[in-house]
Amino acid sequence: MQGLGGPSSILTMAFSSGIVVGGVLLILILCSVLTWAIIFYKYRVLRRAASQSREFLDLFWDSKSFHTVLATARDLEESPLANLFRGGYREWKRVKTRFVEAGTLDANGDLSTELGHMESVQRTLRLTADAEITRLERMLIFLATVASAAPFVGLFGTVWGIMNSFREIGLSGSANLAVVAPGISEALIATATGLAAAIPAVVAYNYFTNTIKVLATEMDAFSSEFLNIVSHHIALSEAPER
């Protein structure tokens, strides 16, 4: 009983667990490792997305030509706003070129009547924004699953271990502390492991979800600004888009 609370004793109990409890512990440890890998990866992705989006906004409002913005935006591949701009700009150029070739563009270059208030550009912006949000949310479902399921998986291992402890009590015919404590301690390791896997997943999921909501709000605002700019006939580059 002396070393029951020590780290080596806890590891010994974990490795000497039965098949069911040992399997539960193995699953939870793997989930924990994957959770931390995803946390580090998503933190890097979202941090770069936010940083590059701020850089893109500074560039966008400081530039007088969409073509200049486009040339620089190609280097900001992880920015949702830069990707949104590329999609909207390509669609705008495509539609404008089509109407110019068809001879339906008026002298002022107004496409609002023919485009039904630029529904084609709006649709492209919306689809691009949805694709960006989907990209940013990738792997978050795993964090949500671990956050919600890991405590219950650990509890299952604990319940199973306690059942075995009571079975041992019945077989030995003794309920003293020396008989009960090792089995109960072994069983509770599963619950502790489940919580250790779930808590970081919950915190990270909430943080990442909030960050993505902020980026989604920025994309909505930028879409409105982009549509407002092109509807007021801001001059676009004459260079053909690839």
Q: 66 pLDDT exceeds 70?
A: yes
What is the C-alpha to C-alpha distance for residues 92 and 154, in angstroms, rounded to an integer? Answer: 54
> Does the global pTM surpass 0.85?
no
Which run of H or E residues covers position 24?
helix 19-62
Number of Cα atoms under 13 Å in the Cβ half of residue 126: 6
Residue 71, pLDDT > 70, answer: yes
CA dist 92 → 87, 140, 191, 206 (Å): 9, 33, 56, 36
- Transcribe 26-56 into DSSP letters: HHHHHHHHHHHHHHHHHHHHHHHHHHHHHHH
CA–CA gap between residue 98 and residue 115 (Å, rounded): 11
- CB atoms under 10 Å from CB of 197, counted, come to 26
pLDDT of 171 reads: 66
pLDDT of 40 > 90? The answer is: yes
Confidence of residue 38 (pLDDT cuts 50, 70, 90): very high
Question: Which range has the worst mean pLDDT, 5-9, 58-62, 98-102, 199-203?
Answer: 5-9
Lowest pLDDT segment from 81-90, 128-137, 197-206, 227-236? 227-236
User: What residue ranges in the chain does DSSP mark as E strands?
Assistant: none
Q: What is the mean pLDDT of the chain?
A: 79
Q: What is the mean pLDDT of residues 204-215?
A: 95
Q: Give pLDDT, residue 183.
A: 65
Lowest mean pLDDT among 17-26, 73-82, 161-170, 229-238: 229-238
| HSE of 218, CA atoms in CB hemisphere, 13 A | 23
Local confidence band at 4 (pLDDT 50, 70, 90 cut-offs): very low
DSSP state of 235: P
Contacts 24+ apart (CB under 8 A), 1-6: 1/178, 1/181, 4/181, 4/182, 4/185
Average confidence (pLDDT) over 111-134: 76
Q: How sure is the predictor about 42, in pLDDT bands with cuts at 50, 70 and 90?
A: very high
User: Could you identify the residue written with the tokens 């072994």?
Assistant: 186
Question: 61 or 13: whose pLDDT is higher?
Answer: 61
